[in-house]
Structure 1
Amino acid sequence: MTAAPPARVALRGDLLDFTAAPAWGDVDPAGVRFRADHWLLIESGRIAGAVPGDQPPGDDWLKHEYPGRLILPGFIDTHVHSPQLDVIASYGSALLDWLDTHTFPAEARYAEELVAREGAARFLDALLAHGTTSAAVFPTVHKVSVDTLFEAAQARGMRLIAGKILMDRNAPPELVDDVAEAERECTELIGRWHGVDRLAYAVTVRFAPTSTPGQLAMAGRLCTRHPGVYMQTHLAENRAEVDWVRELFPEARSYLDVYARNQLLNDRSVFAHGIWLDADDRAALAGAGAQIAHSPSSNLFLGSGLFDWRANIDAGVAVSLGSDVGGGTSLSMLRTMADAYKVQALRGERLTAWVALHAATRGAAHALRLAGEIGSLEAGAVADVCVWAVAVGSVAVQRDNLARGLHARLFAWMTLADDRNLVDAWVAGIRRA
């Protein structure tokens, strides 16, 4: 169990969140809620409301003043690999080579409890240091990697979604298990962790090529037997991967159809990447209420392709953001947003700061069915809140001084900022970073 938060905390600064999804390309949408110089009131770990800065709460409130700082909901990373911090910034591979050369050796080490425990703590502390307070995480195939990750998240009071990776073919022997063993371990982990404090289990299929039809069917059974669990996997990240899936599953219409045939497409499904999809795939995703966890830094670094964000939102598909470390190059969701802008620019589109920020806060919360808990500064939400300096360093300060309008300031912040801009991170009303 985590420590109890202070009874009453008040944070003074410039509050920013969303009341509605911003439209594509609109730099002045009605759904942006900016409250300059306000007190954010937190009682027993939840947001109680907000009042103007010249109306301070009483002496029974613990007050923290952040003049000129932004106060936002903590970021939500919907796709990230905890053990892959060990291989971040490794040279020279496309996706399938990357797995064999870098990812699988790193994940094999997490069979050892000490490695898994130290790795979980390092990973979660690094998330918090980058302003991410909630995440959907891939640990490894090892049960101990899941237990230690959940234990560490519970100790920090974080909202975490995770599950044992499922692989029973096309991977090193030390990283595969059989269907019966995997089902037994997943069932035990669901019973131990799902719904405990702020933790949730995700049936975690690495990707279709590393699961036999029998294992995919078992994963679908787990989702059916345990209502409320999530499902997370990879989808259509790389063309060679898509071709491989076609060879392995010739009966399926598409890569997505492999999952749909096994009851793995639902409103709690998080599909990482989703670059190489067609209109029928997007319609199926939208119809199921599933989401795409767009991972732009990884897509650029591994040369996987350019995600068509606008086609997905036009089709009604929810789009959130994932750092995808270690294929991605930073745990910072700000760096991830900046790379998302570059991906869209290469497609001839322009991603506003509002669409990007919404996807990392309220939009992700809605897609995860957690809008009442995280992603906003609404009264009643858990007080996962981060305080940011808009500009750090002479160049950024000058850029901020010259910016005209709120979007211009926030776009420059999104483009130039990183973990150095984080002032404080509060998780359920407790200052954690």
Structure 2
Amino acid sequence: MEACRASLLWFDPLADGPLARYESDGLLVVGSGPAPGSPQRVVDVGAWNDLAPRYADVPVTHWPGRLITPGFVDLHIHYPQLDVIGSPADGLLPWLERYTFPHESRFHDPAYAASVAEVFLDELLRNGVTTALTFATSHPASVDALMAAAGGRGIKLVAGKVLQDRHSPDGVRDETEQSLIDTERLIQRWHGQGRLGYAITPRFAPSCSDAQMRGAAELAARYPQVWIQSHVAENLDEVRWVRELYPSARSYLAVYGDFGLLRERAVYAHCIHLDDTDRALMRETGAAAAVSPTSNLFLGSGFFDYASADRAGMRYGLASDVGGGTSFCPFHTMLAAYHVGRASVTGGGLAKQGLSLAPSHLWWQHTAGAAAAMGLEGVTGNLAPGCEADFVVLNPQAKPLLARKWSQADSLEEALFALIVLGDDRVIEQVRPAVRPAA
């Protein structure tokens, strides 16, 4: 066992909702997992004065003036779009055609895919992200490259080969039967290998034939422990397109439900243009929304409706959505989510008064809340006893203005908001995945 002394932030696993727990002088105790090579687990967490006598024989690393929090969970990101970040376009569909598809076509080359995977994983860890749910491309080599690279980093990573057998250009369009054969082979090769998991990944309904969607659902039923990930209701042009393709479907989201692709461990990015019936369907099936505020603002797609999501009781968490998203940085994503909350959409227009999402709630969305949306509640995204011990050490003194704001904070919420507004990768002093990266 080992212990860390610092200020600590985590979330009460027994609370009905996101309840932050904080110790200004705390002790985090971690120990070995149940099997050799398995992730370290949190043994205990609490006030230094209460726990220090109990663990007097355990070596302690002291980080004075630092804050230890759970490692961040990125609920939706595209590793092949690393070099697409910051590319200007008029909206989602033109952006895909002009930048994304041409770039993704390069990932048939294993060497190229491997080179991008290394930089991608570096960026995740540099920004304190220890769990990520990510798209690869339609090329199996893109999955192999990412999984192989991630296996030596200690990160918890779930990824999948994109399925897109129609309405896609040469170079990224796959073939229906072969795409499903490749997906099953990749599941068998990578799912459950260390901290790696597989996600069945229809790009979005317009890109997949009915046969491919049915095949994806059959695989999801055959392998219930894998994830499903896709996009839904991101952009109004996209919504209109789906209505033309599926005129008998009740809604865009219902298309996935009709094919059997809504269930626990199914994560759908964006979920902006939903109605209350859609949100109830998300709740009933256990599917979750990956809220991607920097991407939605950048592409002009709209605002996630937090108030309606909460009323419906649907699961959600935060995501960078790089490369539509503009930053790997969780602080930037949380700040964008705050802006989106203030501009909540109600009744087809901007609310007269938006939500002020609490800083601790924003933090929960990027840690324990995102983990719960993935079906990993009590596994990652938290520092409660029994969780895998992914954590980050933050230095609020890393930037002069942040240090000034931090010293003036009168409450946990003020202190966290200072980090959200002013923080960036310079604040991430150390990243500790629950499995130590290979030397």
Question: Could you tell me the TM-score, scaled by structure 1's length?
Answer: 0.93
What residue identity is the alignment partner of 2:44?
G
Cα deviation, residue 164, structure 1: 0.4
Which string of whole-angstrom CA distances, capped at 9 and with x for unpartnered residues, describes residues 65-96 of structure 1?
Answer: 21111101100000000011111111233100
Conserved 8 A contact 1:94-1:302: yes
> Compared with structure 1, are the counterparts of its residues 357 and 60 closer, same or farther at alpha carbon in structure 2 (3 Å cutoff)?
closer
What residue identity is the alignment partner of 2:278?
D
Conserved 8 A contact 2:154-2:437: no
| 2:421 is aligned with 1:426 | no
Between Structure 1 and Structure 2, how many residues are aligned? 420
Q: What's the secondary structure of 1:293's corresponding residue? A: strand
> Compared with structure 1, are the counterparts of its residues 418 and 22 closer, same or farther at alpha carbon in structure 2 (3 Å cutoff)?
farther
**Which segment is superposed worse, 387-396 or 339-348?**
387-396
Cα deviation, residue 429, structure 1: 5.2
Correspondence list, 1:9-88, <5 A: 9-20=2-13, 31-44=19-32, 45-50=40-45, 52-53=47-48, 55=52, 57-58=55-56, 61=59, 63-88=60-85
Distance 2:288 2:366 in 1: 13
> Compared with structure 1, are the counterparts of its residues 422 and 250 closer, same or farther at alpha carbon in structure 2 (3 Å cutoff)?
same
**Which segment is superposed worse, 189-198 or 287-296?**
189-198
Distance 2:211 2:355 in 1: 42
Distance 1:246 1:80 in 2: 26
> Compared with structure 1, are the counterparts of its residues 405 and 60 closer, same or farther at alpha carbon in structure 2 (3 Å cutoff)?
closer
Q: Which runs of 5+ in 2 are unaligned?
A: 33-39, 345-353
Conserved 8 A contact 1:309-1:319: no
> Compared with structure 1, are the counterparts of its residues 20 and 354 closer, same or farther at alpha carbon in structure 2 (3 Å cutoff)?
farther
Q: 2:413 pairs with 396, 407, 410, which one?
A: 407
Q: Which residue of 1 aligns with 2:216?
A: 219
Q: Which runs of 5+ in 1 are unaligned?
A: 1-7
Q: What's the secondary structure of 1:174's corresponding residue? A: coil
| 2:247 is aligned with 1:259 | no
> Compared with structure 1, are the counterparts of its residues 131 and 21 closer, same or farther at alpha carbon in structure 2 (3 Å cutoff)?
farther
Percent identity, aligned pairs only?
A: 43
Q: Which residue of 2 aligns with 1:182?
A: 179
Distance 1:413 1:340 in 2: 14
What residue identity is the alignment partner of 2:23?
R
Which string of whole-angstrom CA distances, capped at 9 and with x for unpartnered residues, describes residues 175-203 of structure 1?
Answer: 11111101110110011111221111111
Which string of whole-angstrom CA distances, capped at 9 and with x for unpartnered residues, describes residues 337-371 of structure 1?
Answer: 00000111122221111211111111112221212
What residue identity is the alignment partner of 1:164?
K
Which string of whole-angstrom CA distances, capped at 9 and with x for unpartnered residues, describes residues 281-316 of structure 1?
Answer: 011011101100000000000100011012111101
Q: 1:101 pairs with 80, 84, 98, which one?
A: 98
Q: 2:398 pairs with 376, 387, 392, which one?
A: 392
Distance 2:250 2:46 in 1: 54
Structure 1 residue runs of 4+, over 6 Å off?
21-24
Q: What's the secondary structure of 1:395's corresponding residue? A: helix
| 2:324 is aligned with 1:327 | yes
Q: What's the secondary structure of 1:398's corresponding residue? A: helix
Conserved 8 A contact 1:425-1:431: no
Q: 1:363 pairs with 369, 384, 391, which one?
A: 369
Conserved 8 A contact 2:236-2:273: yes
What residue identity is the alignment partner of 1:233?
S
Conserved 8 A contact 1:9-1:429: no
> Compared with structure 1, are the counterparts of its residues 39 and 331 closer, same or farther at alpha carbon in structure 2 (3 Å cutoff)?
same
Distance 1:246 1:217 in 2: 19
Q: 2:356 pairs with 345, 350, 353, which one?
A: 350
Conserved 8 A contact 2:155-2:435: no
What residue identity is the alignment partner of 2:122?
D
What residue identity is the alignment partner of 1:273?
H
Conserved 8 A contact 1:285-1:317: yes
Cα deviation, residue 59, structure 1: 5.8
Cα deviation, residue 51, structure 1: 5.5
What residue identity is the alignment partner of 2:386?
G
Question: Could you tell me the TM-score, scaled by structure 2's length?
Answer: 0.92
Which string of whole-angstrom CA distances, capped at 9 and with x for unpartnered residues, describes residues 124-158 of structure 1?
Answer: 11101001000100010010110111111111122
Distance 1:93 1:10 in 2: 51
Q: Which residue of 1 aligns with 2:203?
A: 206
Cα deviation, residue 393, structure 1: 2.2
Q: 2:275 pairs with 268, 273, 278, which one?
A: 278
Conserved 8 A contact 2:392-2:429: yes
Q: 1:163 pairs with 153, 156, 160, which one?
A: 160
Q: 1:337 pairs with 330, 334, 339, which one?
A: 334
Cα deviation, residue 53, structure 1: 3.5
Conserved 8 A contact 2:154-2:438: no
Conserved 8 A contact 1:46-1:381: yes
> Compared with structure 1, are the counterparts of its residues 22 and 292 closer, same or farther at alpha carbon in structure 2 (3 Å cutoff)?
farther
Q: Which residue of 2 aligns with 1:309?
A: 306
Distance 1:21 1:96 in 2: 42
Cα deviation, residue 58, structure 1: 4.7
**Which segment is superposed worse, 144-153 or 230-239?**
144-153
